[in-house]
Chains A and B, each alone.
Chain A
């Protein structure tokens, strides 16, 4: 009986390890191959260690517009994240706490908006950006992503889950609604704001399709659309695997850093409910 259990346990770890390899090894290959020569990458696809290390892929990336793509990605991510954190939390607070006529209808409308499939919006977004005269500009890249219904929903649920006693105390002391929101509510909402920040940063940094339909000139490319050009061969790169994989690695580093810094926080969604 005991031996059978041990054997079962071993099998479970074997399966777990196998899957860990399937999920992690591609990234190791990515990092390793970025430092390979083209010939080395083709000849030894299974080895993450270059036969000799070269930086050719990275110097080539520097000659492409990579630094500019990086700057544009930072601009888009910063504005989108700031906008979402501010606007989504304001609306979430209003929908959770303030009593006003039409609140229920407004909340239903926001839920309905969440159900609209994003990819259906590609052509419509292009149309409206053209109509407003902001197609192919920085505002055109940022504005369509500036708020999101899901973020409003997250913030509303958070405010519903905390007790209103502290705000009520502030209000009785004579603070106005906005004062209370800014200096009492927001500092209290740090965990939810952090979640929203992480999600917004990751979402805007990784966004490809909305950026694609919002601009035309290469000078407005972000990392996703710029590196995308490398892959679809528009820059004549063909199959230079080390170059492409170096680009893929470089654009993943910022989100990976955010992920590892806040990892406990992101993965805690599961731990939070443990009853022990």
Chain B
């Protein structure tokens, strides 16, 4: 008995060693290129490093929360820019997430039909933008929304004059209000504000330029999410829908009371993924607008980048990155709480 047990425990030890050995490359890369860099950036965000030499050299000092205070509580340009970028990104999220989710779900519901001619073609068509790089798609949309581009050509076909998309900083809610005759901010909204921006500016809506970037985001990602919805739709038992039909439910009622509840976990996944990725919009801003016109396409991710790499204010740039990190974490948790809450009461 004893030799057998010893043999078994030796095998156990060999298995444990093999387990760690096989996981080692992944562990090393994740520690060196994820954990260590984040700790390093955390240090930089509370330091006065200017990008010269190592951030650990003796000339670099701990400035406490000064960088965070300059962004969050001291009025000045950093706070103004952060406020502006948060507003822009907020409108981007509010428009992109629901629209891409609804579009993805709608397309998935249609292309999942068993008797649909050209099903494969439609799926490929909708998914193709998802595989192209942000650079190629940005070029395409700069052309499409250019002054003499496709969209303006279509608009002029119906006798209207298209905007100068990427040079138009006007917020669409402001444009709407000025259409109704409101051209000046009520003093209550102009004199008070948050994060260095008057409330009137917070209520500007996405700028015309941002609308073009929002269109790009919806166009590119709806196919990806359509593909996530498809298996979930196929997993809905067919007899459930049949039963609902027998009970006399029409298409909309079937969707509301059978399809949608069954898709709830997937819907949650898609909304979460959408929320996380839309708060990170960077490539398109860098490539298409660099935050222009008039700062109306500035986003926190791009602001962090230019503050560090452009202005060499590394402490402040890193602080913006951590603020963005916090926003994403808090929103993801909040969304999870809200949705699980609803499920409990339902």
Check: A152 CB closer than 8 A to any chain B CB: yes
Chain A binder among B170-178, B189-197, B302-310: B302-310
For the complex, what is the distance from the CA of A275 to the CA of B120, rounded to whole Å? 18
For chain A, residues 131 to 163, give those with C-beta under 8 angstroms from any C-beta of chain B.
Answer: 131-132, 143-144, 146-147, 149, 152
The residues of B that contact A275 with a CB separation of less than 8 Å are: 234, 238
Work out how many contacts link A and B, with CB atoms closer than 8 A. 273
For the complex, what is the distance from the CA of A24 to the CA of B33, rounded to whole Å? 38
For the complex, what is the distance from the CA of A273 to the CA of B341, rounded to whole Å? 30
- Give B295 Cβ to nearest chain A Cβ, in Å: 17
Q: How large is the interface on A (under 10, 10 to 19, 20 to 34, 35 or more residues)?
A: 35 or more
- Indicate if the CB atoms of A245 and B34 lie closer than 8 Å: no
- Indicate if the CB atoms of A206 and B38 lie closer than 8 Å: no
Chain B binder among A51-59, A115-123, A188-196: A115-123
For the complex, what is the distance from the CA of A23 to the CA of B15, rounded to whole Å? 51
- Indicate if the CB atoms of B107 and A19 lie closer than 8 Å: yes
- Indicate if the CB atoms of B143 and A123 lie closer than 8 Å: no
Q: Closest B residue to A107 by CB, please name it.
A: B23
- Indicate if the CB atoms of B22 and A106 lie closer than 8 Å: no
**With contacts A95-B23, A255-B131 known, is A100 near B15, CB below 8 A?**
yes
Q: What is the number of residues of chain B that contact chain A, defined by CB distance less than 8 Å?
A: 96
Q: Closest B residue to A146 by CB, please name it.
A: B29
Q: Closest A residue to B305 by CB, please name it.
A: A122
- Give A227 Cβ to nearest chain B Cβ, in Å: 5
- Indicate if the CB atoms of A149 and B30 lie closer than 8 Å: yes
Contact for A120 among B126, B135, B146, B324, CB less than 8 A? B324
**With contacts A228-B287, A231-B139 known, is A93 near B22, CB below 8 A?**
yes
Query: A: which residues have CB within 8 A of B?
Result: 12-13, 15-16, 19-20, 22-24, 26-27, 29-30, 33, 41-43, 45-46, 83, 86-88, 90-91, 93-95, 98-103, 106, 110, 113, 115-128, 130-132, 143-144, 146-147, 149, 152, 177-178, 181, 202, 205-206, 208-209, 212-213, 223-224, 227-228, 231-232, 239, 241, 244-245, 247-249, 251-252, 255-256, 259, 263, 266-267, 269-276
Can you list 27 residue pairs at the A/B interface with Cβ under 8 Å?
A15-B110, A19-B125, A26-B150, A45-B143, A91-B25, A94-B18, A98-B15, A99-B15, A113-B34, A115-B329, A119-B280, A119-B324, A120-B328, A124-B41, A177-B15, A208-B133, A208-B134, A224-B135, A228-B135, A231-B135, A232-B287, A241-B143, A244-B139, A245-B143, A248-B136, A266-B127, A270-B123
Query: B: which residues have CB within 8 A of A?
Result: 12, 14-20, 22-23, 25-27, 29-30, 32-34, 36-38, 40-41, 44, 54-55, 107, 110-112, 114, 117-118, 120-129, 131-140, 142-144, 146, 148-150, 152-154, 219, 223, 227, 230-231, 233-235, 238, 276, 279-280, 282-283, 286-288, 290, 301, 304-305, 308-309, 314, 317-318, 321-322, 324-325, 328-329, 332
